[in-house]
Amino acid sequence: MASTSFGWKVKQRKILNKSKLNPEAFSEAAQVEEGSVDEDNVDWLHSVPVKKQKLLLEDCELKAKRLKNEGVALAESERYWEAINKWDACLQLVDGDETVLEMKAQALMALNELYPAVSTAKLVVTINPRWWIGWQTNGRALLNIGEVHAAIASFQKAVHINPANKSLWEDDLSWAVTLLDDLKNKAKTMTGEELQFHVRECMRIGLT
């Protein structure tokens, strides 16, 4: 499976292409000079000089990058909840970072937190609908809950964006189509829960 540019990617149940952690120190936030102001109403960011504003923003960016990288390192060690905590802290500083959310979706899948993974993956493709990796992860999350038709549609979007990626065709889209054909043959004799369990078992057997 193709690796992501930011260093951590699960190949279904496996981790590929581990990147070295490169944490960066971040400068201390600029201190606002004391003055006779109404603390309840002041806009602190705009009350400081432009130079200090820039330092505050740069400090947030460096801290967010550090938290993101620390999450990557924890995920590589399969410490998924700790990684998610780091990424959640990162998202408090840089709201809407689809790369962080995509990694979080992968970690949730690894933890068998299937529905939170689907919600997170959906947010990824909402933020950046032109990112094929987001659609790929979204499709995998949907497969985990038995939404095979929706997963196929997601993989098709990924292929449309990046048609040269062979693994998208073979490991994701073709597998989902094969799974759908198998389910059609069993659908008449299975309940909804049984179908969902059958999807998971097919993935476990076929993708390990």
37-58 pLDDT, tens digit per residue, is: 444 444 545 555 555 555 566 6
- Greater confidence, 200 or 125? 125
CATH ID of 20-29+42-207, from 1.25.40.10, 1.10.287.1260, 3.30.390.30, 1.20.120.350? 1.25.40.10
Tell me: pLDDT of 67 over 70. yes
Other beta carbons within 10 Å of 148: 22
Tokens coding 9: 């990617």
- Greater confidence, 61 or 202? 61
Tokens coding 178: 């094969």
Put residue 78 in one of left, alpha, beta given phi > 0 → left and psi -120 to 50 → alpha. left
* Per-residue pLDDT, 61: 87
Selection from 176, 93, 91 nearest residue 105 by Cα: 91
Helix (H, G, I), strand (E, B) or coil at 119: helix
* Per-residue pLDDT, 39: 45
Instruction: Provide the residue ranges of all domains of the chain, joining segments of one domain with +.
Output: 20-29+42-207
Distance CA 38, CA 99 (A): 39
Distance CA 152, CA 142 (A): 9
120-179: pLDDT as tens digits: 999 999 999 999 999 999 999 999 888 888 999 999 999 999 999 988 888 888 888 887
- Host H or E run for residue 14: strand 14-16
Query: What is the average pLDDT across 22-35?
Result: 31
82-122: pLDDT as tens digits: 999 999 999 999 889 999 999 999 999 999 999 999 999 99
